[in-house]
């Protein structure tokens, strides 16, 4: 499966901006099952300086500065991504979840140390008893981590309603849990909070999800979306991804951009400006399959790895 992705972000300012420093997390990662074949970032107005580097989590980040007055900023990321036709490894057997939570603090391997940092609270995700209580029906004593993880993913999908008007970018998981509404970012934060509240390492993953129009309708330009899901560490197997918004295991419909503790670590575009006052932002994503991917279709929830999501 190959994808050509265009991610366009436009900021329109009420009054001109005289200076701006910005950060973009728009370069897809190269992973065992995913390869970023090409990527370019087009910024208008042209930046005075542009620097690319890897951040603490290994994500590719671009810094750019605009020093001329402007009342509109446009950032267009064009990427060509190749996904392997085999799924990421998913273990047939996994240790009980409480064994993972109990043993991880003593795991001094590089993998264990990296994972352990994702057990603690982060600026937008604070573990608490309410999250542990919600997760507890899935995490019964002695249950394998993978089974419990899939069960929690399915329950979030069932119990929470997708509502783009119910939350905003700063809505805390506590409010999402109370009102049972939100978007993919909210459901990812909620599941991360539940897992960390049980002592399990969970990270927030930012990326893209290919969408499909209803039967008989044309596909709309810009209709695809930035997406978010969750990755959980399982000793012996590594990081396992789950998508609570759609109740599935990410595979060929998902492209990974970056990961971190929560959305604040990997927001696609952010910055500091002088001037501007109020502004409007428009985001459009097009995720088109390459010629060798024509005819593929999006799997039903739970079918991507032929594993049941309980």
Single out the residue of 216, 224, 192 nearest to residue 205, CA to CA. 192
Of 247, 254, 205, 249, which Cα lies nearest the Cα of 225?
Answer: 254
User: What digits encode the pLDDT tens for the residues 235-288?
Assistant: 999 999 999 999 999 988 899 999 999 999 999 999 999 998 889 999 999 999
Angle among Cα 124, 129, 134 to the nearest 5 degrees reads 90
Q: Where are the domains of the chain?
A: 2-84+266-292, 97-264
Please give the C-alpha separations between residue 150 and each of 44, 69, 235, 252, in angstroms, as whole numbers: 43, 50, 16, 19
Terminal Cα distance for the chain, rounded: 28
DSSP state of 96: B
CATH number of 2-84+266-292: 2.60.40.2250
Q: Note the CATH number of domain 97-264.
A: 3.10.620.30
At which residue do the structure tokens 């970023």 appear? 36
Q: How far apart are CA 268 and CA 27, in angstroms?
A: 9
The string of pLDDT tens digits covering residues 134-169 is 999 999 999 999 999 999 999 999 999 999 899 998
DSSP labels, 227-248: EEEEEEEETTTEEEEEBTTTTB
H or E element in which residue 174 lies: helix 173-179
> Which parts of the chain have pLDDT scores under 70?
87-88, 217-223, 291-310
């Amino acid at each position: 499966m190959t994808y050509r992705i265009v991610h366009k972000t436009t900021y329109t300012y009420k009054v001109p901006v005289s200076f701006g420093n910005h950060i973009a997390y728009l370069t897809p990662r190269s992973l065992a099952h995913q390869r970023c074949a090409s990527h370019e970032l087009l910024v208008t107005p042209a930046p005075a300086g542009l620097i690319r580097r890897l951040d603490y989590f290994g994500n590719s980040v671009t810094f750019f500065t605009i020093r001329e007055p402007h009342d509109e900023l446009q950032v267009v990321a064009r990427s060509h991504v190749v996904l392997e036709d085999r799924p990421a490894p998913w273990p047939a057997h996994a240790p009980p979840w409480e064994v993972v939570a109990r043993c991880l603090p003593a795991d001094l391997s590089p993998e264990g140390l990296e994972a352990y940092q994702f057990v603690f609270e982060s600026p937008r995700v604070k573990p608490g008893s309410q999250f542990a209580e919600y997760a507890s029906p899935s995490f019964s004593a002695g249950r394998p981590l993978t089974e419990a993880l899939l069960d929690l993913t399915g329950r979030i999908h069932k119990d929470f309603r997708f509502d783009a008007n119910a939350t905003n970018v700063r809505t805390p998981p506590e409010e999402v849990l109370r009102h049972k509404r939100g978007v993919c970012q909210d459901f990812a934060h909620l599941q991360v909070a539940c897992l960390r509240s049980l002592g399990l390492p969970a990270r927030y993953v930012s990326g893209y999800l290919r969408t499909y129009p209803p039967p008989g309708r044309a596909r709309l330009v810009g209709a695809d979306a930035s997406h978010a899901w969750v990755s959980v560490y399982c000793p012996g197997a590594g990081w396992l991804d789950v998508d609570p918004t759609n109740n599935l295991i990410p595979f060929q419909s998902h492209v990974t951009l970056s990961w971190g503790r929560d959305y604040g670590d990997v927001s696609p575009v952010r910055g500091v400006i002088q001037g501007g006052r109020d502004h409007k932002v428009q985001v459009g994503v097009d995720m088109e399959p390459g010629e060798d991917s024509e005819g593929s279709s999006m799997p039903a929830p739970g079918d991507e790895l032929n594993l049941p999501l309980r």
